[in-house]
Structure 1
């Protein structure tokens, strides 16, 4: 598993998102999606709705694997 459970604010400040994300730093709600990549096929993840709708990659909006979010919640 990769540590992709963080985002960067508009000011360029890196923020780790603990637990299940509810909103991105931009104010958008979070959407649950399913990965279609060869590296992580059918793996569920959370994504900022704004970034998901515009299919932004390597941006500063929320991206977090669902299994990592649940592990954070349990801890």
Structure 2
């Protein structure tokens, strides 16, 4: 097994179908993160890009276990 296959087979972060919803002040459900899946290998550098309010910070807070996914 080469090093690339080894990295893919054993990610340090693995997320499948991540969803985070909040209830707004008027009672409607707002989906801040919608069905994100990704794997990150040891030593890999990853950036999250998106518009304001796209869920980047929420996703990172879930990865850091500061928030629970829905």
Please, what TM-score do these two structures have when normalized by structure 2? Answer: 0.26
Looking at secondary structure, tell me which structure has more strand per residue: 2
Quick check: which has more Rg, 1 or 2? 2
